[in-house]
Amino acid sequence: MPMQALILRTPAPLAVQPEPLTIGELPLPSPRPGQVRLRVGACAICHTDLHIVEGDLPAQALPLIPGHQVVGVVDAVGPGVTQFREGDRLGLAWLFEADGTCPRCREGKENLCPNARFTGYHVPGGYAEAVVAPAAFAYHLPARYAAVEAAPLMCAGIIGYRSLRQADVNPGERVGLFGFGASAHLVIQVARHWRCEVYVFTRSPDHREMSRALGAVWAGGLEDQAPAELDRGIVFAPSAAVVTGALRHLRRGGTLAINAIHLDRTLEIPYEEVYWERTIRSVANATRRDGRDFLALAGDVPLQISTMPVGLDGVNAALGALKRGQIRGAAVLRFGGQA
């Protein structure tokens, strides 16, 4: 039985290839031992997907079905799966699997596993009517969110939550968010739940307005002087210039987390910007514990999730809008008329 999917055959910049994904029919995948198959209800569109289609990240498997923020319903289980059954609603995230045996995995840092594989990058992802994945790497979802709302939680939310942890954020601190897309619009709500003061730096007037509505005490540009020094900061923009600019807003002894899988150029940091014991950390993927902890929080805290639903024929345009910074919240591929 065939399924429809969006297929990437040749990565290239959108300026050269404005429609990198083509709609095609592929055989319906069958779950292997330990795997589940989901009928996809929604798959959020991530900046990492943009890096993949533009070739910023080296291709791992072509042709490829991108997409790693997946929400769907189990319609088949492979041998050995006991924790899920047909009809369960599950989420899939960026981490498809880790080996579980390497030193990093044994330390509880499976996000750093050298043999990790990632959804929509090494293996087919969620820009399709169905997808298979290891049951051990699937998540139960909070019932309060519809499929389109839940999809951005699977990466924008989970990696944003890890970014807060990597930035050493403590309740009540001043936190700066540099860039305000899908992940930041969820992070600000978690930070506000932790009673933090949040300062947002973005070029977009629309994003500044949105951040204030979600509780930012101040919003402006990177070049503007915020009314207070920051204890912690998170960079969401894939820009080396934003990283160096963000450091200038950080107090002595503060921490900056870089939530980007790719930067636009080599990162060059003047020593005076990191002096006074400022700390810089990258955010590399996320663990299943991050996912479980964040989704439990999202089940208790009613997050306002801003989405722009699109169909299969609208994903290329959504990727272009994402590149131009024109998405308010998260663009989400929706299947089957699900809300």
Cβ 175 vs Cβ 198: under 8 Å: yes
User: At which of 282, 297, 321 does a domain end?
Assistant: 282
Interatomic CA distance for residues 307 and 311, integer angstroms: 13
Cα(75)–Cα(219) distance, rounded to whole angstroms?
45
- Does 236 reside within a domain? yes
Number of structural domains the chain divides into: 2
pLDDT at 338 over 70: no
99 and 219 belong to one structural domain: no
Q: Are residues 80 and 173 both part of a single domain?
A: no
* 339 assigned to some structural domain: no
Task: Say whether both 136 and 273 belong to one domain.
Answer: no
Instruction: Note the pTM of the prediction, 2 decimals.
Output: 0.96
Residue 294 domain-assigned?
Answer: no
Per-residue pLDDT, averaged over 186-195, amounts to 98
Same domain, 106 and 245: no
C-alpha neighbours within 13 Å on the C-beta side of residue 93: 30
Burial 57-90 (b: 16+ CB within 10 A, else e): beeeeeebbbbbbbbbbbebbbeebeebeeebbb
* pLDDT category of residue 315 using cuts at 50, 70 and 90: very high
The CA dihedral of 187, 190, 194, 200, to the nearest 10 degrees, is 30
Residues 46 and 8 in one domain: yes
pLDDT at 128 over 80: yes
3-state helix, strand, coil in the chain (%, to 5): 30, 30, 45
> What pLDDT was estimated at residue 339?
43
CATH, residue 173: 3.40.50.720
Co-location of 164 and 88 in the same domain: no
Rounded distance, CA 239 to CA 252, Å?
23
Q: What is the DSSP letter of 277?
A: T
Residue 291 within any structural domain of the chain: no
Residues 132 and 165 both lie in one domain: no
- Which residue is associated with the tokens 């959108």? 14
| pLDDT at residue 58 tops 60 | yes
Q: Which residues are CB-neighbours of 283 under 8 A, at least 6 positions away?
A: 159, 162, 163, 166, 257, 258, 259, 260
Structural domain boundaries enclosing 100:
2-154+306-334
Task: Assess whether 133 and 91 both reside in one domain.
Answer: yes
144 occurs within a structural domain: yes
CATH number of the domain that residue 54 is part of = 3.90.180.10
Using a pLDDT cut of 70, give the percent of the chain over it: 99
- Please give the Cα distance from 213 to 265 (Å, whole number): 33
Q: Which residues contact 25 (CB under 8 A, 6 or more apart)?
A: 2, 3, 4, 5
| Interval 201-244: pLDDT, tens | 999 999 999 999 999 999 999 999 999 999 999 999 999 999 99
Are residues 117 and 94 in contact, defined by beta-carbon separation less than 8 angstroms?
no
Considering the domain architecture, whether residues 203 and 171 belong to the same structural domain is answered as yes
233: tokens are 């900061």
The answer to whether position 238 is within a domain reads yes
Confidence class for position 175, pLDDT limits 50, 70, 90: very high
**112, 231: one domain:** no
pLDDT for residue 336: 72
Taking the CA atoms of residue 111, residue 112, residue 113 and residue 119 in that order, the dihedral angle to the nearest 10 degrees is: 40
The tens digit of pLDDT for each residue in 237-292 reads 999 999 999 999 999 999 999 999 999 999 999 999 999 999 999 999 999 999 99
Residues 253 and 182 in one domain: yes
Least confident of 183-192, 261-270, 306-315: 261-270
In this prediction, residue 115 carries a pLDDT of: 98
Q: Where are the beta strands (DSSP E) in 174-215?
A: 174-178, 197-201
**In-domain check, residue 298:** no
Average pLDDT over residues 3-9: 98
Q: To the nearest whole number, what is the mean pLDDT of the chain?
A: 97
- Same domain? For 113 and 201 the reply is no
Rounded distance between C-alpha atoms, residue 172 and residue 97, angstroms? 35
15, part of any domain: yes
